[in-house]
Structures are given as structure tokens and as C-alpha cells.
Structure 1
Amino acid sequence: MTSSSPTPPSPPSRGSWAALRQWAQALRPAPLRVDGRERLRVVLGACLGLLVTAGLSEWLMPHGAGLPWLVAPLGASAVLVFGVPASPLAQPWAVVAGNTASALVGIACVHWLGAWLEVAAAVAVALAIGLMFLLRCLHPPGGAAALLMVLVGVKDWSFAAEPVLLNSCLMVAAGMAYNSLTGRRYPHPQGATPSGAGAAASASSAAASSASASSPQDLFREADLDAVLARYNQVLDVPRDDLRDILNEAGLLATRRRITTLRCKDVMSTQLQVVEWGTPLQEAWSMLREHRIKALPVIDRARRVVGIVTLHDFMREASLELHEDWPTRLRRLLQASPLTHSSKPEVVGQIMTRQVRVVSADRPLAELVPLFAATGHHHIPVVGPEARLVGILTQSDLVAALARMEAL
């Protein structure tokens, strides 16, 4: 018999290492996008807030009662009140009611389940979370307050008032003063949102009214945001109004970026109808009517723009501002003269506008927005290499391009 040596384990495959690296990278914290000044503001606020809370609590609480004058969960509350004062989890009702109600739950669990410490601790935290959901005062330190009551074995119901309630009220008061003085809104109003299974129905029924309530710069309606939040169905540590403003601003920045990347050649009309200097007026007029356009670029043999003829040019030459018998005057203008010499215009070059603004095909589209808006231009020829005509850009082309970007 021959004994076979054990087969060495095969090294992990390259795919396994890649998956492991990807998993490890997912654990890395995202960078905090706040500057040093904001970080210093938060640090000083937490320090001052706890100092004021501790000092006043010790002074206000009766001496000789044997009770601590500051509870540990207030440290976590300070992080929220001074670090993220806009958070729904940091608002005054969340701090005061969340800590106090959770402390009461913890004390109750000590009375009911005190003989089973592990069970009492788990049930206290779970019930505290459920009660905070019910009272709309979800506050993470509340879970710590419930757990603290169990671990310390607090049975005195007044402990929820002193020091927990007292500490929480003083912390909120300090947060209101400090955040206001340092330029942060606190309390931060929390917009009401539809909840539960009826959110989608509420969103659809509120669509008409929310359209008028939204700002003209809004990229979406209030009901749209409510419907998405209802489908997301998770607690967000961002107030609804801030979330709406952030999404709007990000959308506007994206729209501006897309506008700056577009060039005239990306949106111009390339199916061109053009005429030359010697094109008869009747032919040019027929082209305008047949293609339902308002302007025709006038080019030379090298396709360079020498002018533009518009409906306004025809109206000016036919004196259409005089309403009496204007069809007759227009027919006379368009009708070719049988004579070798005529006092009236016969070809496009005699009525066209010679001073024509043209733009390069590579010019950013954003630069043309004020041009269309302020100068009254409706049609701008687009030229390419050697100033040859390659397209025409109209107000309709510009509006259509902006509408397509808005829909993205």
C-alpha cells in the first residue's frame, strides 16, 4: 500500500481576492465633507453644551439624594444636537421624549424582568425603539438610556425625570442657543410627509396642488419626493426640506454641466434650405412657405454666408404694415418684371439682411442663450471650417435641447 500525501490547499483565486478587496473597501468610511471651521464649531458646541448641562443639573438637583447628576447617553445626544442639528434624530422632541420615554421603558423592564439581566437589556432596548417610533421621537441615545437603566438596576421612576429629563431639556436649550449663535437652524423644522401604504396615493392626489407650491427652479414636485421616500421605506437622517434642496441643487448643477458640454453642432439643424444672391423672390417665397420656415441663409458659390432673407424682409418690402390691399402689394413684389430694368426688387440679394451674425459649430451652446434672449435673434447660421455654412440654429432647436436635458 502506498500512502498519499495530503493535497495542499489551493490558493484563493484572483476573483476571490477581488471580491474580498471590494468587501473591505465597502467598510471604509466615506469622507466627511465639512471643513475645519465646522468641525471646530461642533467640538466647541459639544464641550460647552455638556458643561452647561452638567453644571446646571448639579445645581438644580436636590443635594443628598444620592442620584447622579449626568447620564452617559447625553454624550451621544450632544453629538447629534451639535454635530447634525438639522437631523430629525436631533430635534428637541426627539432628544427630550426619546431619552425620557426610553428611560421609563428601561425602569419598567427592571421591575418586570430584573431577574434575567440579559433578557431585560434586550427587551428594554427593543421596546424603547418601538415606543420612540410610536411617539415620533426616534433618538439613538434613547436606546442607551434604556440599557443604562437595566445595567444599573434603576427602580426609582423619578430617575426618568431627574436626571434624564432634566439633562435632556438643558442639552436642548444649550443647543438652541449655541446653534443659533453659530449660524445653524435649531430646531430645524421637519416637513410633514405622507406615511405608510397610502403614501403613493397621497402623492398622486397631491400632484396638482404641489405643482403650484414648488419653486420654478424645482426639478421635481413635492409629491414625487414623497412617493420616492415612501418606496425607500427607511429612516433617513436628513430633514426632508434639506434633502429636497440638495437634490434640486445637484440637479441644477448637472443641467448646467450638460449645457456647457453641448456645442452648436450638437443641436443645429443640418437639413438646410438656402438661396443665392440672384435667387428670384418668387422662388425664395415659395421655399419659405413650402418648408414652413421663417429664414433662408443666402450663400455664395463657396457656401459662405453673405446674408439672410426672412419673412420680415418680404413684409418690409411689400409695406405690409399698411393693412389695406396688402395681398396685391405682395403679389406685385413677387411677380417678375418683364423689363430689363425695374425699380422694384427682383432677387433675394436686393432685400436680404447683409449684416448677419454667425456662430462657430464648436461654440458652446450656453453662450447662445443670452444671445437669443437679449438681441431678438431667431435664426443664427452655423459655420464650420473656412467659414462655410454647415447648419442653422433656431430658438426652437435651443428650447428642444434644453427640454431634452431637463428630461434626463
Structure 2
Amino acid sequence: MNQKTDRQTRGSLLWRSLGPVLPPARPAETIRAASGALIATALLALSFAMAAPNLPLPASLTLIAPFGASAVLLFAVPNSPLAQPWSALVGNVLAALIGVAVVKVFDDPNLRIVVALGLTIPMTILARAVHPPAGAVAMTAALSPELVDTLGFGFAAAPVGLGTLILIVLAMVWARLSGRHYPFRVYHAPGPFGTADAPPTERLGLSESELTAILDSYRQSLNLGVEDLARLIGAAEIQAATHRTGPLTAADIMSRDLVTVSPETSLDEVAGIFRRHGFTSLPVVGPEMRFFGVIFQIHLIRQAREDAFRLETRFAAAMRRLTGSPGEGGAKRAGDIMAVANPRATPTTPVAALLPQLADGHCDAVPVLSKGRIVGIVTRTDMIAALARQSLTA
């Protein structure tokens, strides 16, 4: 490579490095984050307005600017280590205490700002509570000596501590309502099935200390947690495995001789089919094999459990009622408890695309559809058999 080409390459890389580094966001995720932050900020303002008579300062001074920065982290990037409850609450409160102390020691405004920020960064790092808005909290105190004169070190408790705590609680509620995880998932926490085993895609053979060492060696401990690193490595392994599946499609491995039920099939009959065939899933279809959904064995168990709680009876009695005659009331039909939002495929869908869906533990079978009609189903057993054949020919 000559010098001119080398300079052009470096120039191109520089311009690219100045552009966006985040991938395009999905519209649904954008709406989720924006809506959560909007609702949380409104509720925070309402909370302070209601508490204003008990606070020794105007309500206009309680909703400080750093809360907006905290809301961005808690609702837009809830998986970030910088957005976790310890980081947010301890970081903001510690910064507030530092800011107030600096105001009491120094008179020069510019010096107060520099010292407050200069102390906040190392102190939050040492406290393992790095939270970028904490820098703004320290500067808010340094720029507002009248606020410090009014509240003193109480500024750290309210509005800073109280407001941050309210945002954290609202972020937890919003994450649960919108299907996200907050606080950060802890490594070795119970898996999706309530056992000590990690999800199948995260069983890497690497210990928590080894994963932590990887993060430290690449200086990523502030950007990723151990749990996220395990998920990313697991996803990469699954994706790499898809490269070895060759040109196989769903049509090559799917089960074609299907046993199906209609939405009107009684759950007693559904349970009987599960017993006779040993299936774990049954497609629910209409005339001409038009696909409606899938009913899994676990759906029967969950419905019986919910009925047992609702009717204050034993599980066995609830199951008998659930699978009894249609005249006894309750959810007695397949259409009442079938799943309609599970992954789907077409006959030409590559096996590589099905592998992640069947490996994560949440999906037992993927129906294969052609023009809205079911033509087959790919189960985990089908996938294991296909991968076994591939390994023999590799």
C-alpha cells in the first residue's frame, strides 16, 4: 500500500469514526424508552409538587436537570451498568454531598465547579457507583450556593436521593410492564425456568471470574455486565453453529404427518392426544389446515394452576375441572389457551434461522406455514436429529 492510499484509508476511517456507532433502533424500542421516561418524569414532577409543602424550597427547584440525564439511562439503556440502582442512587447522592461540601469550602464559582466535578469522578469510581448524571448533580450544587444555604447537606436526601429513588422504582415497574429486565440480571441468578441452570444459550463453560477477567482485560467493565457478556458469547456461539448447518431448510427436517386439533377441541381430548402420542405441542387449525396457533402441554398446567388459585381449590381438582366435560364451565377448549404469537417459518426458512429460536428454551416447536396453512412443524427433536446428521457428515 503506497503512502497516498494509506492516508486515504486513515482519512476514511476517521470520518467513519465520527459518525453514529449505535445500530438503528427499532421503532417499538424507541417508543418504549421515550414513553417510560416521559411518564416517569411526569410522575416525579407530580410527586415533588405534592411534597412541596413539606420541603424547604420551591417546587421549581426540586426537579433538577440531572434527573433528565438519569431518566435517559434508566429507560433508554436499562441494561447498562451505569444505569443500575446502586450506580444511580449512590452516585447521585455522593455527588450531591461532594457538591455541598465544595460550596462550603470555596467561594470562587469556577473553582467550585472544577473541584466538585474533579472529586465526583474518582469518588464514584471508588464507590463502584459511576453514573454520568452524578457529574451534573455535583455541578448543580456548585452553581447554586443559595440552594446549599437553604438545604445544606439535606440537598443529598431531597431532592437528589428522593428523586433518584422514585426514578429507579418507576424504571423497575416500567421494565416489567414492557418486557425488559431492570435491575441488571445477575450472573448465576435463577434461569427462565426457575432453576439454578443458566439459559441453554448461556452455558458457556466459563466461570463468573473468567468472564469478569475478559471484561477487565478489554476495559469494558463500565459498559457490560457479566450476564450480558455471557448472553452475547452464547448468541455468537449459536450464530456460528448456524454457519455449519449448510443449505438445509425447514422443509428438509420438518415433521409432515401432523396431528392437529381445532379451536373447539375439548381440553380433555387434547390431554388424551398428549398422552397417546407423547407430544409436547399440538397445532390448532381450522378448515383446510389454516393455522390458528399452538397449544403446549405447559399451557394445560398453567391454566390449571391459575384456576386453582382463582377458585381456591387444589391443583388436581382444577385439572379435572379443566379437562372435564364442556358443560362444567371454565376454559374447556383448545382455542382458549393456545399460543398465537410463537415464531413461525416457511418451507424455505433456513435451519440456521430456526436454531436460535429453538435453543433459547422458550419455544418447543416452530410451525411451518405456506400461505397461512400449516404444512409441517419443526420440533427440538427434529433439530437435534438434523444437527446429529450434519455432525456425521462434517
TM-score range relative to shorter protein: 0.5 to 0.7
Matched residue, 2:162: 166
AA partner of residue 19 (structure 2): R
Once the two structures are TM-superposed, the CA of residue 369 in structure 1 deviates from its matched residue by 7.6
- Taking the aligned partners of 1:145 and 1:169, their CA distance within structure 2 comes to 15
Q: Are residues 1:57 and 2:48 paired? A: yes
AA partner of residue 177 (structure 2): L
> Where do residues 125-274 of structure 1 align in structure 2 (5 Å cutoff)?
125-153=117-145, 154-155=147-148, 156-191=152-187, 218-222=203-207, 223-260=209-246
Match of 2:106 among 104, 113, 137: 113
Q: Secondary structure at the match of 2:244?
A: helix
- Structure 1 portions without partners, runs of 5+: 1-11, 193-211, 263-363, 375-392, 402-408
- Taking the aligned partners of 1:135 and 1:90, their CA distance within structure 2 comes to 15
Superposed CA offset, 1:385-404 (max 9, x none): xxxxxxxx9x8x65xx5xxx
Once the two structures are TM-superposed, the CA of residue 238 in structure 1 deviates from its matched residue by 2.6
Q: 1:227 to 1:237 in 2, by over 3 A?
A: closer
- Taking the aligned partners of 1:179 and 1:74, their CA distance within structure 2 comes to 18
Does structure 1 retain, via aligned residues, the 8 Å contact 2:79–2:184? yes
Superposed CA offset, 1:3-27 (max 9, x none): xxxxxxxxx9554344222211111
Q: 1:368 to 1:87 in 2, by over 3 A?
A: closer
AA partner of residue 221 (structure 1): L
Once the two structures are TM-superposed, the CA of residue 178 in structure 1 deviates from its matched residue by 1.5
Q: 1:234 to 1:122 in 2, by over 3 A?
A: farther
Match of 2:25 among 34, 37, 43: 34
Matched residue, 1:280: none
Once the two structures are TM-superposed, the CA of residue 214 in structure 1 deviates from its matched residue by 6.7
Q: 1:84 to 1:369 in 2, by over 3 A?
A: closer
- Taking the aligned partners of 1:122 and 1:149, their CA distance within structure 2 comes to 12
Q: 1:21 to 1:63 in 2, by over 3 A?
A: same
AA partner of residue 170 (structure 1): I
Q: 1:91 to 1:129 in 2, by over 3 A?
A: same
Matched residue, 2:370: none
Q: Are residues 1:24 and 2:15 paired? A: yes
> Where do residues 247-396 of structure 1 align in structure 2 (5 Å cutoff)?
247-260=233-246, 370=385
Once the two structures are TM-superposed, the CA of residue 182 in structure 1 deviates from its matched residue by 1.0
Superposed CA offset, 1:192-250 (max 9, x none): 9xxxxxxxxxxxxxxxxxxx977765344124323322322343323321221121111
Does structure 2 retain, via aligned residues, the 8 Å contact 1:61–1:162? no
Does structure 1 retain, via aligned residues, the 8 Å contact 2:66–2:136? yes
Does structure 2 retain, via aligned residues, the 8 Å contact 1:105–1:124? yes
Once the two structures are TM-superposed, the CA of residue 105 in structure 1 deviates from its matched residue by 0.5
Q: 1:258 to 1:224 in 2, by over 3 A?
A: farther
Does structure 2 retain, via aligned residues, the 8 Å contact 1:53–1:174? no
Match of 1:97 among 79, 90, 93: 90
Q: Are residues 1:73 and 2:66 paired? A: yes
Q: Secondary structure at the match of 1:81?
A: helix
Does structure 1 retain, via aligned residues, the 8 Å contact 2:245–2:387? no
Match of 1:123 among 101, 115, 128: 115
Q: Secondary structure at the match of 1:86?
A: coil
TM-score normalised according to structure 1 size? 0.54
Does structure 1 retain, via aligned residues, the 8 Å contact 2:99–2:142? yes
Q: 1:61 to 1:165 in 2, by over 3 A?
A: farther
Once the two structures are TM-superposed, the CA of residue 149 in structure 1 deviates from its matched residue by 1.0
Q: 1:369 to 1:187 in 2, by over 3 A?
A: closer
TM-score normalised according to structure 2 size? 0.55
**Greater Rg by CA:** 1
- Taking the aligned partners of 1:45 and 1:59, their CA distance within structure 2 comes to 21
Q: 1:372 to 1:14 in 2, by over 3 A?
A: closer
Does structure 2 retain, via aligned residues, the 8 Å contact 1:74–1:168? yes
Matched residue, 1:195: none
- Structure 2 portions without partners, runs of 5+: 189-195, 249-350, 356-381
Superposed CA offset, 1:291-324 (max 9, x none): xxxxxxxxxxxxxxxxxxxxxxxxxxxxxxxxxx
Superposed CA offset, 1:111-141 (max 9, x none): 12232x3332122112112222222221110
Aligned length: 246
RMSD: 3.2
- Taking the aligned partners of 2:199 and 2:26, their CA distance within structure 1 comes to 30
Once the two structures are TM-superposed, the CA of residue 37 in structure 1 deviates from its matched residue by 0.7
Does structure 2 retain, via aligned residues, the 8 Å contact 1:214–1:221? no
Does structure 2 retain, via aligned residues, the 8 Å contact 1:100–1:160? yes
Does structure 1 retain, via aligned residues, the 8 Å contact 2:95–2:134? yes
Q: 1:69 to 1:368 in 2, by over 3 A?
A: closer
AA partner of residue 176 (structure 1): M
Q: 1:226 to 1:214 in 2, by over 3 A?
A: farther
